[in-house]
Structure 1
Amino acid sequence: MGKVQARAVFGALRLTAAIVCTVALVHRLLWGLSSHTVAGENFFAYLTVESNCALVVVLVLGAVLAFTRVADPRWFSIALSLVLTWTITAGLAFALIVWQAGIRGIRVDVPWSDQVLHFFLPACTAIAWALTPGHRGVSWWIVPTSLLFPLVWGGVTMWRGPLVGWYPYYFLDPRQVSGPPEFLLTSGVALAIFALVACALVLLSRMPQPARRSIPPPA
Structure 2
Amino acid sequence: MRERAVNLGRLAFGLLAAVALGVQAYHVCTRHASLVNFFSYFTDLSNMAGAVVLLTGGTLGLLGRRGVPDPVRGAVVLCMTVTGVVYAVLLAGYHLPLELPWVNAVLHKLMPAVHLADWLITPPRRRIAWRRAVLWLAFPLLYLVYSLLRGAAVDWYPYPFLDPRRPHGYGRVAVASAMITVLFVAVGAAVVWTGNRLGRRSARSVGVHT
Q: Mark the runs of 5 or more structure 2 residues left unpaired by the alignment.
A: 206-210
Q: Paired residue for 1:7?
A: 3
- Pairwise mapping of residues 9-88 of structure 1 onto structure 2 (< 5 A)? 9-34=5-30, 36-37=32-33, 42-69=37-64, 72=67, 76-88=69-81
State the identity as a percent: 28
Counterparts in 2 of 1:193 and 1:34: CA distance versus 1, 3 Å: farther
Contact 1:131 1:211 in 2 (8 A): no
Structure 1 residues 14 and 211: alpha-carbon distance in aligned structure 2, compared to 1, 3 A threshold: farther
Identify the match of residue 142 of structure 2 among 152, 158, 163. Answer: 152
2:115 to 118, 125, 134: 125
Please state how far the C-alpha of 1:71 moved relative to its aligned partner: 6.0
Shift of 1:152: 0.8
Q: Separation in 2 of the partners of 1:177 and 1:17?
A: 40
The structure-2 alpha-carbon separation of the partners of 1:141 and 1:69, relative to structure 1 and needing over 3 Å to count, comes to farther
CA shift, 1:111, in A, is 0.9
SS in 1 for 2:202: coil
Normalised by the length of structure 2, the TM-score is 0.83
Q: What's the RMSD between the two structures over aligned residues?
A: 2.7
* Residue number in structure 2 paired with 1:184: 174
Q: Residue type matched to 1:94 in 2?
A: Y
Runs of 4+ with >6 A deviation: none
Identify if the C-alpha distance between structure 1 residues 115 and 137 changes in structure 2 by more than 3 Å, giving closer, same or farther: farther
- The number of residues matched between the two structures is 203
**Which amino acid in structure 2 is aligned with residue 97 of structure 1?**
L
Tell me, what secondary structure is at the counterpart of 2:183? Answer: helix
Relative to total residues, which structure has the larger helix share, 1 or 2? 2
Q: 1:11 to 1:135 in 2, by over 3 A?
A: farther
TM-score computed with the length of structure 1 as normaliser: 0.80
Give the Cα–Cα distance (whole angstroms) in 2 for the partners of residues 143 and 125 of structure 1.
17
Query: 5+ unaligned residues in a row in structure 1: which ranges?
Result: none
Partners in 2 of 1:214 and 1:28 — Cα distance?
44
* Cα separation, 1, equivalents of 2:66 and 2:72: 15
